[in-house]
Structure 1
């Protein structure tokens, strides 16, 4: 601390070594302690004391002591309940009269100098002993996350799951998962979750008693919370209730595939057929009365849902296709009364029937500059929709047998016209086809109570965005309605792109609405297995149109379609490549033009597929 550095060499119990103190300015040694088995040392906030951890001379019990930094004499011994060397503090920091320490078993303890006792330990210390190989300097550490040094990030686990500890409530308040693919997940102790689609499928809720498990993704309807990491840091943690994993997950239904085409099915069995119309029967082997809905997904897209009846068996008819090749990937899950879905029951059917003809692209573009209430008018939604229609027509013609456009602009963009276009696609589309819906106009959340909240896209004849939920229900198009169309439309490749913005006349509480809208879109993407790319919560400025000819979000979208999003240069632009490009480009461009970064959202729980093939 200050001008001094304390250095020690861990003896690994073969010999005892002293701690040595050095002056950082001169580099000279200024002091040396008696020999011992030391695993860590740190100064307190005053620099007058050293907090030292290690083992007793027998190497049988961990010790934590407070020393005078000048004389190296012990002033206080902090009681440790641990009698095994692997639970020895070997890294940590001192804050607010407490030592926060990581141990050789990569668990975490808190020692209170005032009481002289260990006041917190992670549960793994009660049973997990990884041994001496975990001791010594490593990549795990403790990092403060606030100016008051009350919230800390614990980078300690060997499974990419880190912890967030709150000193005031003396508890772990959240977990943070990350991996080398830039996927992440945040889990608050009250059960809220946030993260990328892939990460939410990699991390599981697991009961301690039965080891029954289900993915974090399964609790999206119950607890998905955009920007959760920031929320956790700024909330009063003492009021945060703990999520009872054992109780909730133990009541989640368990789904098992029993038969395909009336033949018994065993897990991971290979099924091949020439029957386009096939069937599957599943059994709810645990908690059948907890089921609210049973859902069938084909190639990650929601195809059909059945209401829960309390019965143990449910059957679905399947329509096989070659939309993604011969392999048709299916899974079935079940919603439960406590809001957490069952683990997916997966199976694959190889379809050897007739190959379908080339797909058709159904392209619905909606752009509304002029609203009946002029204060909601936008600057360039019409130009944006025209640009998207023209760009996709030009770039995608080589993939499709035909492109069927639905051009809906300004006063024509009313609920009846938009739903008529979706109904037409519903009647005509086949499994191998693609649906792209682009919307540039207002997006809004209705309802005050959580149970009443609903996301709407706002047609031209809606004259009041807020305070008139009856008008929205009558004239706007809800997320629930979009979900029904996504499910009932046969096309297995579906993309919804929403430049759902706020004009200067609708900017009150945009940030609050932005989080709610983000949540609604993410839940919609997950429940339907479709792709959603959205600028939810953004605003519009005339200066953007002057410089770009389009809004920032759609300008980035058009750049991506033109070829800039094909980062691997394989002459093929997939939906994931396009969404990644938009997510990176929009913040950069908005900061340049407006001084503040705007962050779009992309949610993709479906299979990736190409939108454009370049010559």
Structure 2
């Protein structure tokens, strides 16, 4: 069978199977964090509330609540259904309930929590709220009423099959005293207080459709024609010769389809109101119509959109924010390289991204030129081999150069054998599989990247599962053919068959080679019709069976299997999003509802200590496989360029743009993740967790964010009203009197921060000018010195939980008399992603403080290259900075003079003489360490008593808080701090914890002051200094960057330096030390140039 024909069949089969899956996994919320991952399966229905504020998209696995105005994804409920009868939203919109036949669950839509779960009896079908929302009603041999407050259940109406056939029936509240039961034969109106039937009607002919119009109290049915009947009398109110309709949930309107057009009708007089826009491949009859808000809520598989029926405009803004990780192996390539720890993915057969599972960060590659299914990746991910039909190519996508531009194949590339496309371990060959139609056999071939010559390696009929050893030299396949099933293992370097087991008629679902290459694992049944499965371990070379597990069920609950490289655990990955771990004794040691959708793959670190599960819910979770402990979840954004990693308690690490994508919810209100930055941000979180560091749970009962408003001169604004536009004011004096008002609901204001052009102006905590502890209000007044042109002013308030307010911004345009800058633009945010570059005043001064310490008083602490690093940095900046600024004032403090006094004297000089338009750069090369108080310190030359390190640091060290205060007090609005601070293995304890605490100290300082900071990894001396370079690795790369390597359009900015260091330092460290180490950079002020190339 040709590859493409097989592929189409498999795609259809995959969709069919996935749409049949029903599972009830966990929330897409971690530590109270909301992950905007949208729907992953087909949306079965859209349910808006009566208030026009929220709607719900319901699929078989989950329900998502959306904010109509802001488009924000709010709560995700771990329940779903494909039956519209079995979900109900309360009339006031505060509760949502589900009927699962054997249980009823009711959730609050205000806080997202389960209110109650009833499991006392069989609840049949249907669920509705009473008109007062105090009772839930279900249909099960009558009507069961559940009191929401007490959960007391009453069957107040009993029915048997002869009285009313409940199959396919619906239940509706007609008014506070009446219920309508409707089925294919007719309907009944029940009087609730009197428990009797007030009216019933039997259809003369079973209608094709039955639609209840609640606001009109009509029932529309269609048999021969479309009839509208009064539900209380059964009389026909209106007859139409054609049409299908959808009723408004809250008005007396309906949408009618006449076979050609969709039209809104007024149900009171059956006159037409408006013809609706025809949308390709869209059926209004499958949508939900809210007449009161003039909106149709509709879906296209897993996407949802809203149509304004007045303007006929379409709102497509309700989208998932997480990046696509692929739907299945049939639709996307996924390959994990054990040697590099890199997971390569191609999603939608075009978007290529890589995830470094060692460091846990992701990046997107350049778009691939053609659509393809068969793609494999080199160990580093920079080279790909692509095959489609009878052709292929090999290309280095980093350089854009083809290695083998036109590979011609005798047979078609076999799309069903994706696992059998791979690079050799040394990267010199590519293996690919073709399917011979005449011979009905697959051939595994290899091609040399150097010569382009191909050769056949092995042949097999077809594979129903395969396993490639991480060394890429052994391949195991469950070979399937007509009345043929064998488990085989080949040495593909030679093509020699090492193992061949006749499986007979048994079913085999999994095969894997152990990391020691000695054993083979099979998961299979004994006979063709048995549902009992066994884990079998074989000796590959001897061919004999080593062990067999006790039997376990394989009734279709598990989608796939994976195992640890050492064969200690078999992982059963479920269609329910669950994982079950079975040990070598055949015992299930834990089951976890891991994901909200099916799991594509479980991957493992080479030592079997870490497990990664990749799901169609677009998340990657990280586990301790032996204990089943969840370490955290990785979310990718912007197609993989940004990311966030969140642990089970809500701590997070990630890229700046990624952090801004996630948020907390409190009573439906969004709290952006970055406003709880100080409390929850944890650098190196992933590495620290997998290295065994234990973190305590965090209190996630987050209080509301404070509110803050800026008042300028006589212009004031309401503190409780959000303005859409940033206010702009004119100024001719050069001074601005600013008042900041802050309110902390149910709390107190802990701090107010005011930024001018991105730079902090003061960092005063508590006891401000006016403070009322009882009401949680604070007021602070400032007088600011403005720069000519546009001045952006931003205020942020923090409460006692260190939760930040949303910032308030104004623009003040200082017209200094000549060439004033127009003020009609929004201010630059306190982050620089995509922000414009702030110009440097050519006539200003650059204040350059450079510290370099080789010689410490304690000789065991001495360094080799810190002084050389500092000297070269000083010389390079002094030489090149003159391209942007006329005056450079340098303070060079080294060795014996670099004690606390010498360093702070230099900073005091800058504080005394710097002006707002100036530039301040601080560079430090020497020791840096985290003290026992978790504070980061620079270590001056006279810190020598290692037996009393903490006291030495407190008395003689330069604490991060002191640097923070200088960053505040130095008036220069453009500031850059560069710390090449290492830890000597003999002097200080070196741990990831220390590195993480160092990074957090620096990050908080950068964020709170609006300044830029770049820091080396805090690693040991031997990992930073290399004699062949003559410099430490960090500064070596920094110097290359300053010489032009980081330039963009002949300009080197602070952000250019950060980006270059982030990408180049790890490569250099890996080359010289064997392991990549990563610098840290944080910047919350405006980007600015440091050098312009001539």
Fold-level similarity (TM above 0.5):
yes
Query: Is 2:580 aligned against 1:101?
Result: no
Q: Deviation digits for residues 406-439 of structure 1, max 9, x if unmatched?
A: 1112211121221122112112222221110011
Quote how far apart the aligned CAs of 1:494 are.
0.9
Unaligned 5+ segments in structure 2 are 1-8, 21-461, 465-476, 486-507, 512-520, 535-550, 564-568, 821-840
Q: Is the 8 A contact 1:66 1:78 kept in 2?
A: no
Asked if 1:177 is matched to 2:635, the reply is yes
* 1:382 shift after superposition: 1.9
Which residue, 970, 979, 995 being the options, matches 1:489? Answer: 970
The normalised TM-score by structure 1 is: 0.76
Q: State the match for 2:706 in structure 1.
A: 254
State the partner residue of 1:359: 844
Alpha-carbon shift at residue 353 of structure 1 (Å):
2.3
Shift of 1:99: 3.9
Shift of 1:181: 6.3
Task: Kindly state the Cα deviation for residue 387 of structure 1 after the two structures are TM-superposed.
Answer: 0.9
Q: Is the 8 A contact 1:66 1:76 kept in 2?
A: no
Secondary structure, counterpart of 1:390 in structure 2:
helix
Cα pair distance change 1:438/1:258, threshold 3 Å = closer
**Residue in structure 1 matched with residue 1034 of structure 2 by the alignment:** 553
1:523 is matched with which residue?
Answer: 1004
Spell out the pairing of 1:173-212 with structure 2 (5 A cutoff): 173-179=631-637, 180=639, 182-207=641-666, 209-212=667-670
Shift of 1:163: 3.7
Q: Which moved more, 1:557-566 or 1:585-594?
A: 585-594
The answer on 1:430 being equivalent to 2:915 is: yes
Note closer, same or farther for the CA distance 1:439–1:29 as it changes in structure 2 (3 Å cut): same
SS in 2 for 1:506: coil
> Aligned partners of 2:615 and 2:968: how far apart in 1?
41
Describe the superposition over 1:539-597 as per-residue Cα deviations: whole angstroms up to 9, x where unpaired: 4459956433322221211111010111x3x1100111112222222232233334443
Q: Counterparts of 1:280 and 1:518 in 2: how far apart (Å)?
A: 33
Are 1:213 and 2:671 matched, yes or no?
A: yes
The 5 A counterparts of 1:157-556 are 157=617, 162-164=620-622, 172-179=630-637, 180=639, 182-207=641-666, 209-215=667-673, 217-235=674-692, 242-245=697-700, 247=701, 249=702, 251-257=703-709, 259-265=711-717, 266-269=722-725, 270-274=727-731, 276-287=734-745, 289-308=747-766, 309=771, 310=773, 311-317=776-782, 319=784, 321-322=786-787, 326-334=790-798, 336-338=799-801, 340-354=802-816, 358-447=843-932, 452-465=933-946, 467-503=948-984, 505-506=986-987, 508-509=989-990, 512-540=993-1021, 546-556=1027-1037
CA contact (8 A) 2:687 2:992 kept: no
Is residue 606 of structure 1 aligned with residue 1085 of structure 2? yes
1:26–1:483 CA distance, 2 compared to 1 (3 A):
closer
Distance in 2 of aligned mates of 1:440 and 1:475: 17
Q: Which residue does 2:468 correspond to in 1?
A: none
Which deviates further from its counterpart, 407-416 or 495-504?
Answer: 495-504
Deviation at 1:469, TM superposition (A): 2.1
RMSD, aligned CA: 4.1
| Alignment match, 1:574 | 1053
**1:299-333 per-position Cα deviation (integer Å, ceiling 9, x unaligned):** 3332222323434132342536458x625152413
- How many angstroms apart in 1 are the aligned matches of 2:15 and 2:642? 39
Q: Distance in 2 between matches of 1:442 and 1:364?
A: 17
CA distance in 2, matches of 1:502, 1:258: 44
Flag the structure with more relative contact order, 1 or 2, with Cα contacts below 8 A and sequence separation at least 6. Answer: 1
Contact 1:253 1:285 in 2 (8 A): no
Partner SS state of residue 467, structure 1? helix
Distance 1:271 1:313 in 2: 24
Partner Cα separation in structure 2 for residue 240 and residue 15 of structure 1: 40
Cα 1:540/1:12, change in 2 over 3 Å = closer
Task: Work out whether residues 688 and 992 of structure 2, in 8 Å CA contact, stay in contact via their aligned partners in 1.
Answer: no
Give the number of the structure whose alpha-carbon radius of gyration is greater: 2
Render the CA deviation track for 1:374-393: whole Å, top value 9, x for unaligned. 22222222222111111011
Q: Does 1:597 align with 2:1084?
A: no
For residues 456 and 14 of structure 1, the distance between their equivalents in structure 2, rounded to whole angstroms, comes to 55
8 Å contact kept, 1:456–1:472: yes
Is the alpha carbon distance of 1:295 and 1:111 closer, same or farther for their aligned partners in structure 2, counting shifts above 3 Å? same
- The aligned residue for residue 68 of structure 2 is none
1:141 to 600, 619, 625: 600
- Give the Å deviation of 1:13: 9.0
3-state SS, counterpart of residue 675 of structure 2: helix
Query: Which stretch of structure 1 is more off in the superposition, 515-524 or 475-484?
Result: 515-524
Distance 1:205 1:585, change over 3 A: same
The 8 Å contact of residues 544 and 593 in structure 1, kept in 2 or not, is answered as no
User: Is the CA contact (8 Å cut-off) linking 2:705 and 2:806 kept in structure 1?
Assistant: no
Contact 2:533-2:552 at 8 Å conserved across structures: no
Structure 2 contact 928–981 (Cα < 8 Å) conserved: yes
SS in 2 for 1:397: helix
Counterparts of 1:178 and 1:14 in 2: how far apart (Å)? 23
Deviation per residue, 1:247-300 (Å, 9 max, x gap): 1x2x14422316333423352333122153324444444426333222223333
SS at match of 2:855: coil
Q: Deviations over 1:102-121 (max 9, x none)?
A: 56xxxx345799999x9654
Aligned counterpart for 1:9 among listed residues 13, 20, 23: 13
Alpha-carbon distance between aligned partners in 2 of 1:66 and 1:286, rounded to the nearest angstrom: 65
TM-score (norm 2): 0.44
8 Å Cα contact 1:102-1:156 kept in structure 2: no
Distance 1:92 1:279 in 2: 66
Q: Which has the higher helix share?
A: 1
Secondary structure, aligned partner of 1:342: coil
Name the CA shift for 1:219/1:75 in 2 (closer, same or farther; >3 Å). Answer: closer
Check whether the contact 1:154–1:165 (CA below 8 A) recurs between aligned residues.
no
Shift of 1:508: 4.4
Q: CA deviation at 1:475?
A: 1.7
1:483 aligned counterpart, secondary structure: helix
CA 1:79/1:614 → structure 2, altered by over 3 Å: closer, same or farther? closer
| Cα displacement string for residues 139-198 of structure 1 (whole angstroms, at most 9, x for unaligned residues) | x7333344558743334335xx54445666667542212234632221111232222233
Query: Partners in 2 of 1:442 and 1:587 — Cα distance?
Result: 20
Distance 2:691 2:889 in 1: 49
Shift of 1:526: 2.5
Q: 1:25 to 1:515 in 2, by over 3 A?
A: closer
- Pairing partner for 2:531 from 62, 67, 89: 67
CA contact (8 A) 1:443 1:501 kept: yes
Residue 724 of structure 2 aligns to a residue whose secondary structure is: coil
